[in-house]
Structures are given as C-alpha cells and as structure tokens.
Chains A and B, each alone.
Chain A
Amino acid sequence: MINLIRSLGRWGLGTFERQGRAHLFLFNMLLGIPGLFLRFSLVVQQLFSVGVLSILIILISGLFVGMVLGLQGYNTLVDFGAEESLGVLVSLSLVRELGPVVSALLFAGRAGSALTAEIGLMKSTEQLSGMEMMAVDPIRRIIAPRFLAGIIAMPLLAAIFSAVGILGGFLVGHGLLGVDDGAFWSQMQAKTDLYDDILNGVIKSVVFGFVVTWIALFEGHDATPTSEGVGRATTRTVVHSAFAILGLDFVLTALMFGDE
C-alpha cells in the first residue's frame, strides 16, 4: 500500500515537473518569435517542410472525407426530402468540425511526428548542444521557427482540407446522386456564415496548430537521447496531440456554438 502511494506520488511529481518544463519551453519559444520577423526565411523553410509537404495527405484525405459526407448526408437528408441541403451539411460539417479536427490529427501524424523525431535526433547527436556552445540559442534558431511555421500552416491546411472536402461532397452529391448544383452551392452560401462558422473554424485550427506544434517540439526536446527514447517521444507526440485536439475541440465547440 505504501509502495502504491509512493509510486503515485512519484508519478504526480514527475508529471508536474514535466508540465513545468513544457511551460518554460513554451515561454522561451514565445520569446524567440519576435526575432524571427528579422529572419523570416527561417520560418519560410519550415513552412515548406511542415506545411507544403503535408498538402498531399490533406488533399487526399479531405477529398475522401467530403465524398463520404456527401454519401452519408444524402442518405439521411433524402428521407426528409431535404437532399437540396446537402451543400449546407457538407460545408458546415467540414468548416466547423471535420476540417480543423481531421486536418489537425493528420498534421500531428505527418508533421508533428517528423518534428519530434528531427529535434530528438538533433539532441541525441549533440547538434543542439553544439549549437549552444557556438553561442547560438537552439530554442530561437531551431525551435521557434518551427513553432511559428506550425501555427501558420495549420489553418491553411485546414482551409485546404475543407475546400477539397466540399468539392468531394459536391462531386458525389451532384455527379453521383443527382443533387441540383445550384441548390447545393446557393444553400451552402446562404447558410455558412463568415464569422460564426468560418472564423470559428479558423480559430480552432490555429489553437490546434499551436498545441500540436508545442507538443511535438517539446517531446523532441525533452526526449531521452537514445533511439528508443526518440521513438517513444514520437509516439507520445501523436497520442498526446490526438487527446489534446479532441479535448480542446469539445471545449472550443462548447464555447463557440454551445448557446445556439
């Protein structure tokens, strides 16, 4: 019993200590961001690797998610004779929920894991230490540009996901199931609000980008500098990011749409 309490206490202390390190790490990253505007090329390079290289998976996934939404939505709506509203269903589902959430999950799997592995390997091969000894702060030179790039890339990827998804829904709805294209687009335009729907979706994806990139970079920086340690850190990035995305999605949805 004593041992159980002791290990619980150890776990609790370890968790708090880790949380403390993660927040100090975040603080240092945020301090490094203003300096990046003088060397924006560092951010552009990272935008390419976390953003541009994630586009393919976002395009393909977005298209299929939209097509499935089109099929499932039509089957439900047609029972009520409301199949003309398919455009609204597809666009609201994507812009409010699926766009930010699914693209963030994909982003965590594609770019987040890559960031953790990259930083973890830089740590284990003493590249970060080497940089410190060359009087170059790795948090500002290596970590902060990746953090900012993640925050910028995430809403753009979510927007691409939603746009391609709507196109997928249209292809299935109009091309396969015969929904009127005018009704599809006009109802979508009429019922999708710029502020309530699109802006809230963008806010969600910015928050997800912030959290996922923070988790990925911290896990890499805090990884045990061995191949096993880096592997475990990469796994933790994907798992913790998924929990964070889904948990925060509920909180944000309750705040944004809870009183409708």
Chain B
Amino acid sequence: MPLVKIRDLHFYRGNRAIFDGVNIDIERGKVTAIMGPSGTGKTTLLKLIGGQLRPHQGTIEVDGQDVHKLSHSQLYELRKRMGMLFQSGALLTDLNVYDNVAFPLREHTDLPESLIRDLVLMKLQSVGLRNARNMSPNELSGGMARRVALARAVALEPMMIMYDEPFTGQDPISMGTLVNLIHRMNDAMGLTSIVVSHDVAETAEIADNIYLLSDGKIIEQGTTLQLKHSSSQWVQQFMQGLPDGPVPFHYGGRDYADDLLNPEENA
C-alpha cells in the first residue's frame, strides 16, 4: 500500500485548473520525484499533501488517513510524522542553527536539554554542519540553510519528507551535496521522499519513480530509464531541456509577420 495516495485531485486558482484529475501513488521507502515546468503547481501539490491547502475535489491519503478529513489536532499529529524542506529553508531567523534544529524537539517532546543537545548535534553532523551550530540563519549560504532545514526536518524522525525545489539556485558543489544527502537520508533513515523539482539531471539521479506534470495532468510516469526512452515528444523535450517542441519557444498569439505589417492593430 502506498504511503501517499492521491485520487482524482482537482484544484483551481480562480478559473485556472492547477490540477485536473491527478492520481499519484507515493511508494513507501522510495524517492518519488514530481517534475514539470515552472508554474505547474508542484509546490501546491506539497501544500495539499501537508494539509495547508484544501482540494476542490478528490482525496489525498497519507498513511491511510484522509488528510482533509482530519481535525486540527489530528492533522497536527500527522504532521509530526511528515517533514518538509522549503525552497528558502524557512529557518526561524531569530534563532541560531542549533536552536532551529532543536525547535521541533523542544516543542513536541519533554526531553531533557542534555539529550536534545546530543540529538541536535547528531542531526547537524549528518548534514555536515555540526560546527556551524552557533551561526545565525542570515550568515548561512543558500545550500547551508537548506542543509540545516533538512536536519530540522528529520529531527523528529518522520516517516516521510517533502522537498520543495531543493536544487534551485545551488552551485554544483552544494547541489551535489544535497543530492547525496537526500539519497543517503532516505536509505539510512528508511524515509519516504517526495522531491518536487525541475532540475532533471539531479532529480533523475536519485528518483526511483518520476511523475511528470503539465497543464494540471500527469503526462507521464515511470522510472528514470522509462522516461528517457519515452515516445512522447513532450517528455523528450522536458527531459533533454530542448528549447522548442510541443512546448513552443514563442508564447502563443498573433502571427509574427502579421504583427509587424499591421502595427495599428497592436493593443
């Protein structure tokens, strides 16, 4: 049974359908990637899974529980078992690195401070930032902030972790570190990971299963190898990063020649 089961998901912003009948299964213990061009609602999907947004139709089950039928306290109990890594890191700026990682432990457990210290140092050690524990979030680079956020996300030993664009804006070394960390954390802690990204090479490297989203629908689904050999032109364009194809280079509208020859019609 999949850990996350999404069925017939519909979600709209105004009149625009962000999801139009999406079905996704996130298998336990695997890294599942949700990929697609910018603006296809990848982050929205994570917020729907985490119960921060409510779908207009369809269901999302996490570990057998319908996320949107839970009471406030039940939802918060479920979230203790879900980690999320935001694109910005979302570290609390008035706390230093150590206190950020200790935050969920202090909020949800009655552990003595000495034990919290050990746990925080272990988590920071696993992301390579034990010696950066006294730094404040604004002293960290983007990659370091995400690693601290990762240590914080796994502090309560969740069953799953959701990564929102973890590789965006990273230099090659930070990117390599993050790819390695996500893969290692998933295997070592027995996590289930959902990676939302449009960085094809990095995501494909660690994903066991990939869903490709576009225009509110799942265009293709499969392993990295299956997607690379897909017969769909759209999939090929996305996976190879081609500038033109089914997704045109030019934004749709008036014909170029017509536009140049009839300037008075410009609105």
Binding site for B on A (CB under 8 A): 122, 125-127, 129-137, 141
Complex CA distance for A24 and B79, rounded to whole angstroms: 23
Q: Of the 9-residue stretches B13-21, B103-111, B171-179, which lies at the interface with chain A?
A: B103-111
- Contact status B93-A134, CB under 8 Å: no
B184 within 8 A of A: no
- Contact status A135-B52, CB under 8 Å: no
Residues of B within 8 Å of A131, CB to CB, are: 92
Select from chain B the residue with minimum beta-carbon distance to A136.
B107
Tell me, rounded to whole Å, the shortest Cβ–Cβ distance linking A138 to chain B.
11
Complex CA distance for A56 and B92, rounded to whole angstroms: 28
Q: Which of B47, B87, B88, B103 contacts A134 (CB 8 A)?
A: B103
17 A-B residue contacts at CB 8 Å? A126-B87, A129-B47, A129-B52, A130-B84, A130-B92, A131-B92, A132-B50, A133-B50, A133-B82, A133-B86, A134-B103, A134-B104, A134-B152, A135-B76, A135-B80, A135-B107, A141-B107
Tell me, rounded to whole Å, the shortest Cβ–Cβ distance linking B103 to chain A.
7
B189 within 8 A of A: no
Complex CA distance for A136 and B77, rounded to whole angstroms: 10
Residues of B within 8 Å of A134, CB to CB, are: 79, 103-104, 107, 152, 156
Complex CA distance for A130 and B80, rounded to whole angstroms: 12
- Contact status A127-B90, CB under 8 Å: yes
Seed contacts A135-B104, A136-B104; 7 additional CB < 8 Å A-B pairs: A129-B47, A130-B92, A133-B52, A134-B103, A134-B152, A135-B79, A135-B108
Per CB-CB distance, the 6 closest pairs between chain A and chain B, nearest first, are A130-B90, A135-B79, A126-B90, A133-B84, A135-B76, A135-B80
Tell me, rounded to whole Å, the shortest Cβ–Cβ distance linking B152 to chain A.
8
Complex CA distance for A38 and B77, rounded to whole angstroms: 20
Residues of B within 8 Å of A133, CB to CB, are: 50, 52, 79, 82-84, 86
Complex CA distance for A141 and B107, rounded to whole angstroms: 9
Residues of B within 8 Å of A136, CB to CB, are: 103-104, 107-108
Tell me, rounded to whole Å, the shortest Cβ–Cβ distance linking B73 to chain A.
10
Report B38-96 residues with CB < 8 Å from chain A CB: 47, 50, 52, 76-77, 79-80, 82-84, 86-88, 90-93
Residues A129 and B77 in contact in the complex (CB < 8 Å), given A134-B103, A136-B107:
no
Select from chain B the residue with minimum beta-carbon distance to A125.
B88
Complex CA distance for A125 and B149, rounded to whole angstroms: 13
Cβ proximity bits B136-159 to A, threshold 8 Å, 1 near / 0 not: 000000000000010010001000
Binding site for A on B (CB under 8 A): 47, 50, 52, 76-77, 79-80, 82-84, 86-88, 90-93, 103-104, 107-108, 149, 152, 156
Residues of A within 8 Å of B84, CB to CB, are: 130, 133
Residues of A within 8 Å of B103, CB to CB, are: 134, 136
Select from chain A the residue with minimum beta-carbon distance to B104.
A134
Complex CA distance for A126 and B92, rounded to whole angstroms: 9
Complex CA distance for A129 and B93, rounded to whole angstroms: 14
- Contact status A126-B108, CB under 8 Å: no
Tell me, rounded to whole Å, the shortest Cβ–Cβ distance linking B193 to chain A.
15
Select from chain B the residue with minimum beta-carbon distance to A49.
B94
- Contact status A129-B90, CB under 8 Å: yes
Complex CA distance for A136 and B82, rounded to whole angstroms: 12
Select from chain A the residue with minimum beta-carbon distance to B88.
A126
Residues of B within 8 Å of A125, CB to CB, are: 88, 90, 93
Complex CA distance for A130 and B152, rounded to whole angstroms: 10
Tell me, rounded to whole Å, the shortest Cβ–Cβ distance linking A29 to chain B.
15
Residues of B within 8 Å of A132, CB to CB, are: 50, 52, 79
Residues of A within 8 Å of B104, CB to CB, are: 134-136
Complex CA distance for A132 and B87, rounded to whole angstroms: 15
Complex CA distance for A137 and B80, rounded to whole angstroms: 12
- Contact status A135-B88, CB under 8 Å: no
Tell me, rounded to whole Å, the shortest Cβ–Cβ distance linking A245 to chain B.
29
Tell me, rounded to whole Å, the shortest Cβ–Cβ distance linking B100 to chain A.
10
Complex CA distance for A122 and B152, rounded to whole angstroms: 17
Tell me, rounded to whole Å, the shortest Cβ–Cβ distance linking A125 to chain B.
6
Complex CA distance for A131 and B79, rounded to whole angstroms: 10
Residues of B within 8 Å of A129, CB to CB, are: 47, 52, 86, 90
Tell me, rounded to whole Å, the shortest Cβ–Cβ distance linking A24 to chain B.
13
Tell me, rounded to whole Å, the shortest Cβ–Cβ distance linking A221 to chain B.
14
Complex CA distance for A252 and B236, rounded to whole angstroms: 70
Residues of A within 8 Å of B156, CB to CB, are: 134
Tell me, rounded to whole Å, the shortest Cβ–Cβ distance linking A26 to chain B.
17
Residues of B within 8 Å of A135, CB to CB, are: 76-77, 79-80, 104, 107-108
